[in-house]
Amino acid sequence: MEFIDGSTLRDLVKARQLSAEHALSIVPHLCDALQYAHDQQVVHRDIKPENILISSDGVVKIADFGLSRIMGNETQQPMLTGTHQIIGTPRYMAPEQLERSRGVDHRADIYSLGVVFYEMLTGELPLGYFAAPSKKVEIDVRLDEVVLRTLEKEPQRRYQKASQIKSDVQSLTSSRHPALARTLVHDPQSGSKNEPEKSPQHPTSNIKQTSRRQKLHWHSKNLQPDYCSHGVSFFNASSDHSNHYFAGRYYRYLLALR
């Protein structure tokens, strides 16, 4: 067995040593490890902070494949559990895994990764009715859609590949600050762009709080000013134009909340 000189992710979460920036740097490595396992048709079935090791030089590894199974091999017999026993850790398990341990596919691991992702950002578990991460901590609100998509109850509504999560996270963190994407607020009446007001409790925040029922229109170069409403519009200020895609999706998400 390989010796890892470091600690588990649980140790870091428990000690509150994880900043949003650090958490976002860990997620892509977890996605790489999960994607490799899934490409080999292996489902881990017990993704949780205790099974994620981080070495002293920052290498991230997923451990404890004792409950893993080969996808498509429904005849595989459980070695350590009873016939109708739940396999995994309930607080991190996908809904379908709680209902039936056998027969789940790689998307159960993606849900578990979403629970870990949420916990790394907020220090809490997404149990019952839970708020979006940006309501708990000062992070880019666009990360909400990534995290919440991994936590979709229906497997077909989640990310279908761990590599897709990595791609979206890296696109969002490509701006100058990986935890808080710089957002410019445009006032159509004055025609000026200003930085959002900073919260006195969180001096590093670049997120302007708005009403849940307020329509927010995100602008790219292809959008015209007459699309804005309530006198406020938002611009993607990063150099990565792929962020316009997330802006549009988040805008539609907000409209659905009206």
- List the single range of 15-19, 137-141, 157-161, 218-222 with lowest mean pLDDT: 218-222
The pair of three-digit structure tokens given for residue 137, joined into one six-digit string: 């901590």
Does residue 46 carry a catalytic annotation?
yes
pLDDT at 66: 78
Check whether 245 has a pLDDT greater than 80: no
Q: How far is the C-alpha of 238 from the C-alpha of 235, rounded, in Å?
A: 9
pLDDT at 65: 86
pLDDT at 186: 42
Could you report the per-residue pLDDT of 136-180, keeping only the tens digit for each?
999 999 999 999 999 999 999 999 999 999 999 999 988 655 455
In 2-72, DSSP assigns E strands to 6-8, 42-43, 52-55, 60-62, 69-70
pLDDT at 218: 37
Check whether 210 has a pLDDT greater than 60: no
pLDDT at 68: 83
Q: Evaluate if pTM is beyond 0.75.
A: no
Summarize the confidence of residues 200-221 as an average pLDDT. Answer: 40
| In the chain, % of residues over pLDDT 90 | 48
pLDDT at 175: 64
CATH 3.30.1330.10 fits 6-74+85-171, yes or no: no
Catalytic residue, chosen from 5, 32, 39, 46, is 46
- List the single range of 58-67, 94-103, 237-246 with lowest mean pLDDT: 237-246
- What is the side-by-side strand order in the sheet with 52-55? 6-8, 52-55, 60-62
Residues with Cβ within 8 Å of residue 221, at least 6 apart in sequence: none
Instruction: Write down the domain spans for the chain.
Output: 6-74+85-171, 183-256
pLDDT at 253: 53
pLDDT at 178: 47
DSSP code of residue 219:
E
pLDDT at 172: 92
Angle of CA points 168, 249, 185, to nearest 5° = 95
